[in-house]
């Protein structure tokens, strides 16, 4: 009698462990299906946009003309980790069917995703065990559906109902199949940010990036933006305060408030004094480094400036002998561009014994 009771207890314990293992496997399969759908959804959207002819990134050759989306392709494109299992906990693969509307390809094209796998029983065959089916549906948070033994002609879930077969050209799915069906948009919010994700990640803390950040649109900052390296933006940068410990490079930098620099301000743009300029208020430098400002359509030297001086005889020739030299700024008896000669002295003779001409001294002023 005692031996019989011990045997019954052992059988009951073994059955309980088997049931627990089945429950764990069912939970694993449900979670696995949801993760597969979250990875495949942005790829389905990408294929749909390409078949609609919408502008965007060129479609990867690996995604062209697919009727089914292989899990290996999702891994190769970086939407799944390399170690992500390609089979369920029961050893069955998943099939990711792309169900195209009759409008594909075209502007009204619609592509639905049908992701299904059998609830496996003995020897890998589809199982009609409603306990296992229910365990997968529960783990999938009500997002999945199944083909139940009581209704083999329908694939039903909480938010969808399809005939079996689900689409023309597909074979009928066996009883015990569990599936997720939706358009390209995810059924649930994927907790991970993936390549080419179109969602706003809405990060609530700091973001640290070791490499470069490239933006194809404007960068909007509500608070302070601090960069310890170079900052290169192709669009606009709008923020309250921007602090850069490196370089800021852009097609244009606009400040609605004060622009402060803790070091020197380097003007790389050069202009020629006296030459035309486009907008009043522009600032540049000449070849020698002198400051220029655009005033009344002309580049003018700033800060008073001194354009040198020279001596001219009444005969019109430049006086260069007897210790006199031409204007050191121009190397001739002339003023640099942007300066005019102003006479400051007049002398009659005395420079050469035989010379009794009148000599004029000029100073170049802007």
Among 108-112, 179-183, 202-206, the least confident range: 202-206
Which of 180, 202, 204 shows the shortest CA–CA distance to 112?
Answer: 180
- pLDDT value, residue 146: 86
Tokens 């035309």 appear where?
276
Cα–Cα distance between 146 and 136 in angstroms, integer? Answer: 9
- Interval 339-364 mean pLDDT: 76
User: Is pLDDT of 267 > 50?
Assistant: yes
Q: Which residues lie across from 97 on neighbouring strands?
A: 68, 114
Which pLDDT does position 221 carry in this prediction?
67
Percent of the chain at pLDDT > 90 equals 0
Q: CA 246 to CA 214: how far, in whole Å? A: 16
Report pLDDT for 10.
Answer: 46
Distances (CA, A) of 360 to 8, 251, 311, 349: 130, 50, 6, 11
**Banded pLDDT at 48 (limits 50, 70, 90):** confident
Residue with the larger pLDDT of the pair 139 and 68: 68
Highest mean pLDDT among 118-122, 152-156, 319-323: 152-156
Residue 330 has a CB neighbour count (10 Å cut-off) of: 16
Q: Which has more pLDDT, 184 or 38?
A: 38
The residue among 128 and 319 whose pLDDT is bigger is 319
pLDDT in the model for residue 193: 64
pTM, whole model, 2 decimals?
Answer: 0.48
User: Could you tell me which residue, 43 or 288, shows the higher pLDDT?
Assistant: 43
**Mean pLDDT within 220-227:** 68
Report residue 285 as tokens: 């430098």
Tokens of residue 351, six digits: 């420079």
Cα–Cα distance between 346 and 355 in angstroms, integer? Answer: 15
**Looking at the predicted structure, is the pLDDT value of residue 14 above 50?**
no
Check pLDDT > 70 for residue 122. Answer: no
SS3 359: strand
Helices (H), 53-66: none
Higher pLDDT, 9 or 168: 168
Q: Are the beta carbons of 364 and 327 closer than 8 angstroms?
A: yes
Q: How far are the Cα atoms of 59, 85, 135, 196 from residue 79, in angstroms, in the given order?
A: 15, 13, 27, 9
pLDDT of residue 149: 85
pLDDT band at 192 (very low <50, low <70, confident <90, very high): low
Mean pLDDT calculated for residue range 111-131: 72
Residue 247 CB contacts under 8 Å (≥ 6 apart), including other chains: 230, 231
Work out the number of other CB atoms within 10 angstroms of the CB of residue 1. Answer: 5
Q: Is 143 helix (H, G, I), strand (E, B) or coil?
A: coil
| Among 163, 191, 185, 173, residue whose Cα is nearest residue 92 | 173
pLDDT given for residue 120 in this prediction: 67
Q: Residue 80 and residue 6: Cα distance in Å, rounded?
A: 48
The pLDDT of residue 13: 44
Q: What is the dihedral of CA 236, 242, 245, 249, to 10 degrees?
A: 20
Six token digits for residue 23: 């429950």
CB proximity list for 248: less than 8 A, separation 6 or greater:
227, 230, 231, 242
Answer for the pair 88, 28: CB distance below 8 angstroms, yes or no. yes
In this prediction, residues 35-39 reach a mean pLDDT of: 87
Q: Where are the beta strands (DSSP E) in 215-339?
A: 219-220, 224-227, 231-233, 237-238, 241-244, 248-250, 283-285, 291-295, 298-301, 309-313
Mean of the per-residue pLDDT values of the chain: 77
Question: Average pLDDT of 137-141?
Answer: 79
58 has a pLDDT exceeding 70 = yes
pLDDT recorded at residue 88: 83
* In the block, residue with structure tokens 């229910």: 134
Q: What is the pLDDT of residue 215?
A: 66
Beta strands in 184-257 (DSSP E): 219-220, 224-227, 231-233, 237-238, 241-244, 248-250
């Amino acid at each position: 009698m005692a031996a019989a009771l011990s045997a019954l207890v052992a059988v009951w314990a073994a059955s309980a462990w088997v049931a627990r293992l089945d429950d764990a496997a069912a939970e694993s399969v449900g979670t696995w299906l949801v993760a597969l759908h979250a990875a495949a959804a942005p790829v389905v959207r990408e294929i749909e946009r390409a078949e609609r002819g919408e502008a965007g990134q060129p479609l990867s050759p690996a995604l062209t003309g697919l009727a089914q989306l292989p899990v290996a392709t999702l891994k190769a494109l970086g939407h799944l980790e390399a170690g992500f299992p390609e089979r369920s906990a029961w050893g069955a693969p998943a099939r990711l069917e792309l169900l195209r509307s009759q409008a594909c390809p075209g502007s009204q094209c619609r592509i639905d995703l049908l992701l299904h796998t059998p609830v496996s029983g003995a020897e890998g065959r589809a199982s009609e065990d409603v306990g296992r089916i229910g365990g997968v549906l529960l783990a999938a948070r009500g997002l999945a559906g199944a083909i139940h033994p009581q209704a083999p002609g329908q694939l039903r879930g909480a938010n969808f109902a399809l005939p079996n077969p689900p689409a023309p050209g597909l074979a009928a799915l066996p009883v015990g199949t569990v599936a997720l069906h939706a358009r390209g948009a995810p059924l649930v919010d994927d907790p991970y940010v993936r390549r080419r994700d179109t969602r706003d990640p809405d990060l609530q803390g700091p973001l640290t990036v070791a490499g470069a950040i490239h933006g194809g649109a404007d960068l909007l900052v509500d608070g302070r933006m601090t960069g310890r390296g170079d900052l290169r933006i192709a669009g606009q940068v709008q923020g309250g305060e921007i602090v850069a410990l490196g370089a800021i490079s852009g097609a244009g930098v606009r400040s609605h408030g004060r622009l402060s620099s803790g070091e020197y301000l380097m003007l790389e743009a050069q202009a020629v004094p006296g030459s035309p300029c486009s907008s009043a208020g522009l600032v540049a430098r000449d070849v020698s480094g002198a400051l220029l400002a655009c005033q009344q359509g002309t580049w003018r030297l700033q800060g008073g400036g001194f354009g040198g001086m020279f001596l001219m005889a009444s005969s019109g020739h430049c006086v260069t002998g007897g210790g006199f030299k031409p204007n050191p700024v121009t190397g001739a008896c002339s003023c640099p561009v942007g300066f005019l000669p102003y006479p400051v002295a007049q002398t009659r003779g005395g420079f050469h014994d035989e010379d009794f001409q009148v000599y004029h001294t000029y100073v170049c002023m802007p």
